[in-house]
A and B are shown apart, each in its own frame.
Chain A
């Protein structure tokens, strides 16, 4: 029994360690992250595959400034994204707009996961318990 006490002691040590670790993390207000969330949703129009959050191009700087101004003007995230979409087309957004054909990007994987798991479970059920004679090694 003493051993299980040691093991639970170690585990409790671990949980408190993880908790202390998390509570030490700097916790400041999240307002600045709103900016960065938006930056990382908008692609830099002249760079390959970079969002304006990462890009050093001057156009990215200008776009960041526009976003900051729009935040100051009290615009919603959706409106800001809409503004860029209208100016540059849908490809400026780092995530497809969830409507029309774009929906397939989410639906297809989910459908395939559901269908294939159903098939797997079904075929496992069917075979379970058969051919147990080979079960020697």
Chain B
């Protein structure tokens, strides 16, 4: 048996397991047969094994360069860097479907394994919904996009991986982003099955929150890594250009962000039930929309590398999901009424409501910009492009307002806040923000929006810190140093302070965005060896140009030395421009010298001769903080996820 036929057989096996567990679970609920239900659950567990082996087959085929498989032929070659053969399995359409299927089965496995007992009634529905979702992907692979399709005549060498993907980011960004989008199905199916059993109350809500936080953080980290990837190379337009493919990843994340906030309100106050159901449905449908756009959708993008003719299948699935959600919602809307209402505009719950409102608004603006070219084509018969300026001008202010709410929200108490409390809590932060605003306004000549954004950041970060410090002083009794109680506080209320840490990470990302949007300097220059160019506080000198020839690519490496105005050496940095003849494509890596104040960023855009080249030099202030935000984001999420309640119960 060849690897390809083994892999395909395993896919067919998975297909049957899925069908069995869907139909079996539904029948099992009808006839209340526990044995059947258990067997269906086990069938769902088995998909982890079959798909895991199938993935192993494909990876094995890549690593052993088995070019009898078309997919391996299309996405690898003998001369490619061997390290990428391990990850080339998700470089194209078919393989990434297999990867997504595998992730769904892994996630379903753990979801079912750790399912709390209060959700036992919902389990059969959960099994069938998850299997149904997996069935779609496996079905598409078996019928339309088989990753194990073979050639009659085995070619000697493959085409090679898309040059743009030969980057360290390939190991983290695509797998995390795809995993994040695919696993939105987990909180989605949990909630659908809870709604089915009429149990969308507080039972199991912690579990929904845990899974949502996990999914949300995976997606968030995936997005940030993509941003970092796009930042380090030329071709994807910079850290964030509101490209359609970026947008379809961002939208579900925004909605999930709204969801993980409003689920807190449901847990604490029994409110927002209907709204939470709507949000998770929206997130799920938007994730399907993302897959549709990514796989042959009608919108032009820089990185639709996984483009295929499967667009309409995914469109169909998205429409199916939307109709499914609508029916579930209409049939069960009486079961999900809220217990309470918002009592006051000055309350924690209304702050959450406003936060949700802004997040949905940003999502809507993004979606509208994404589909507007199609709308304009149909209704006005005009072809237009909607690029970054639209999104920045419309989303920018809304995001700023959202950050503002993020600062005020934690100062409001549940139900109703007294004006007096609010005043004492906000007096210091607001006055600090105002002072900073005035100083910035006087000392810099930048647009007013930049000073405003920085002041809002100041406001938010100081509210968080003041609240934190106050808490730790309260905890300080009997001479415990306040900085020890500062950390003790985190352990006492992990949800809250984990949340604060995540908020701080978002602020750091925002700081980077503000820096690059309002303070960037960028110039095109021609530079010869030995020549020095002055920019900002730096002098950049081209030291040498090296050529490296490989079978599949020609690398040109430019080395620059960076000195300060006093000619003291700061660093030596390299940028490269790699041309792949078989793709007729160049992959250009920037030379970056990064510090907390600013990045000196040099793109070797074109080599004119052996000693002369064109470069784009820019100074990107505060970007360093954006990438620091990533680890802090993960830290914060981990702290909020750390299971203290679970341990106590057991």
Interface residues of A, Cβ cutoff 8 Å to B:
3, 6-8, 10-12, 14-15, 18-19, 21-28, 30, 32-33, 35-36, 40-41, 43, 47-51, 54, 56, 61, 64, 89-96, 100-102, 105-106, 108-110, 112-113, 116-117, 120, 124, 127-132, 134-135, 137
| Chain A contacts for B439, CB-based, 8 A | 19
| Chain B contacts for A36, CB-based, 8 A | 522-523
Tell me whether A33 and B244 are in contact (CB under 8 A): no
Of B388, B454, B473, the contact of A40 (CB 8 Å cutoff)? B388
Cα of A77 to Cα of B319 in the assembled complex, Å? 44
Tell me whether A25 and B365 are in contact (CB under 8 A): no
B436 in the interface (beta carbon within 8 A): yes
Tell me whether B368 and A11 are in contact (CB under 8 A): no
- Tell whether A3 pairs with B519 under 8 Å between CB atoms, given A48-B304, A112-B364: no
B621 in the interface (beta carbon within 8 A): yes
Cα of A64 to Cα of B605 in the assembled complex, Å? 14
Tell me whether A127 and B342 are in contact (CB under 8 A): yes
B113 in the interface (beta carbon within 8 A): no
Interface residue count on the B side (C-beta < 8 Å): 87
Tell me whether A7 and B466 are in contact (CB under 8 A): yes
| Chain A contacts for B520, CB-based, 8 A | 33
Q: Which residue of A lies closest to B356 (CB)?
A: A120
Q: Which residue of B lies closest to A131 (CB)?
A: B341
B458 in the interface (beta carbon within 8 A): yes
Tell me whether A7 and B470 are in contact (CB under 8 A): yes
| Chain A contacts for B388, CB-based, 8 A | 40, 94
Tell me whether A134 and B458 are in contact (CB under 8 A): no
- Tell whether A32 pairs with B340 under 8 Å between CB atoms, given A21-B596, A48-B300, A134-B270: no
Cα of A116 to Cα of B358 in the assembled complex, Å? 11
Tell me whether A96 and B376 are in contact (CB under 8 A): yes
Q: Which of B409-430 contact A (CB under 8 A)?
A: 415, 428-429
Cα of A87 to Cα of B41 in the assembled complex, Å? 63
Tell me whether B301 and A48 are in contact (CB under 8 A): yes
Tell me whether A130 and B383 are in contact (CB under 8 A): no
Q: Which of B320-369 contact A (CB under 8 A)?
A: 339-345, 350, 353, 357, 361, 364-365, 368-369
Of A41, A56, A116, the contact of B588 (CB 8 Å cutoff)? A56
Where chain A touches its partner, the secondary structure class is helix
Of A105, A116, A131, the contact of B386 (CB 8 Å cutoff)? A105
Where chain B touches its partner, the secondary structure class is mixed
Tell me whether A26 and B535 are in contact (CB under 8 A): yes
The 8 closest A-B pairs by CB, nearest first: A26-B536, A94-B387, A101-B380, A95-B389, A7-B469, A127-B341, A91-B383, A25-B621
A45 to chain B, nearest CB (A): 11
Cα of A90 to Cα of B376 in the assembled complex, Å? 12
| Chain A contacts for B236, CB-based, 8 A | 54
Tell me whether B596 and A129 are in contact (CB under 8 A): no
- Tell whether A14 pairs with B387 under 8 Å between CB atoms, given A26-B598, A90-B382: no
Cα of A32 to Cα of B368 in the assembled complex, Å? 33
Q: Which of B450-486 contact A (CB under 8 A)?
A: 454, 457-458, 461-462, 465-466, 469-470, 473, 476, 482
Tell me whether A24 and B597 are in contact (CB under 8 A): yes
| Chain A contacts for B487, CB-based, 8 A | none
Tell me whether B536 and A95 are in contact (CB under 8 A): no
- Tell whether A90 pairs with B235 under 8 Å between CB atoms, given A18-B436, A28-B536, A109-B394: no
Of A10, A26, A106, A128, the contact of B538 (CB 8 Å cutoff)? A26
Tell me whether B302 and A49 are in contact (CB under 8 A): yes
Of B387, B415, B428, B521, the contact of A26 (CB 8 Å cutoff)? B521
Cα of A93 to Cα of B235 in the assembled complex, Å? 19
Tell me whether A49 and B597 are in contact (CB under 8 A): no
Cα of A65 to Cα of B366 in the assembled complex, Å? 32
| Chain B contacts for A113, CB-based, 8 A | 361, 398
| Chain A contacts for B357, CB-based, 8 A | 116-117, 120
Most buried by B among A12, A54, A116, A137: A54
| Chain A contacts for B522, CB-based, 8 A | 32-33, 36
B564 to chain A, nearest CB (A): 11
B243 in the interface (beta carbon within 8 A): yes
B632 in the interface (beta carbon within 8 A): no
B142 in the interface (beta carbon within 8 A): no
Q: Which of B591-622 contact A (CB under 8 A)?
A: 596-598, 605-606, 619, 621-622
Chain B 241-283 interface 0/1 with A at a Cβ cutoff of 8 Å (1 = within): 1011000000000000000000000000110000000000000
Cα of A43 to Cα of B538 in the assembled complex, Å? 31
Cα of A12 to Cα of B465 in the assembled complex, Å? 12
B266 to chain A, nearest CB (A): 12
Tell me whether A108 and B383 are in contact (CB under 8 A): no
Most buried by B among A25, A30, A106, A116: A25
Tell me whether B385 and A25 are in contact (CB under 8 A): no
